[in-house]
């Protein structure tokens, strides 16, 4: 089983989710997403694994960066939002756990257990 966690070690929910996985005997591949650049295609695949059609559901909509880039503008398309995440990986909600073709945002951390 190859499980990946999009992780930010400075985030308490991300740390809690990683600890929860480890208590389940799972040692996921840790993806330090803030240090990476994702293509729009990669982000679209992640959205599909999450089962979402509204890209804002995988974004940090309360973050100051989201507000400063005016991403709440209702005229923006999902492609516009994916481009913004591609340019600013800090906009990606965290943590996200991926197991094969399924993914779940770890808010609350226990929600990731559904895809294990």
Residues noted as catalytic: 11
Q: Is 115 exposed, middle or buried (0-12, 13-18, 19+ CB in 10 A)?
A: middle
Residue 95 backbone phi and psi in degrees, to 5: -80, 160
Q: Is 49 exposed, middle or buried (0-12, 13-18, 19+ CB in 10 A)?
A: middle
| Distances in whole angstroms, Cα of residue 48 to Cα of each of 13, 90, 106 | 22, 20, 16
């Amino acid at each position: 089983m190859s499980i990946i966690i999009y992780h930010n070690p400075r985030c308490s929910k991300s740390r809690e989710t990683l600890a929860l996985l480890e208590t389940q005997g799972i040692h996921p591949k840790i993806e330090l997403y803030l240090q990476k650049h994702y293509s729009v295609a990669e982000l679209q695949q992640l959205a599909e694994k999450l089962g979402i059609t509204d890209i804002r559901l995988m974004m940090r909509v309360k973050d100051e960066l989201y507000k400063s880039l005016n991403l709440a503008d209702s005229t923006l398309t999902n492609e516009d939002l994916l481009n913004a995440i591609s340019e600013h990986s800090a906009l990606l909600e965290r943590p996200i756990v991926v197991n094969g073709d399924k993914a779940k945002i770890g808010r609350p951390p226990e929600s990731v257990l559904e895809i294990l």
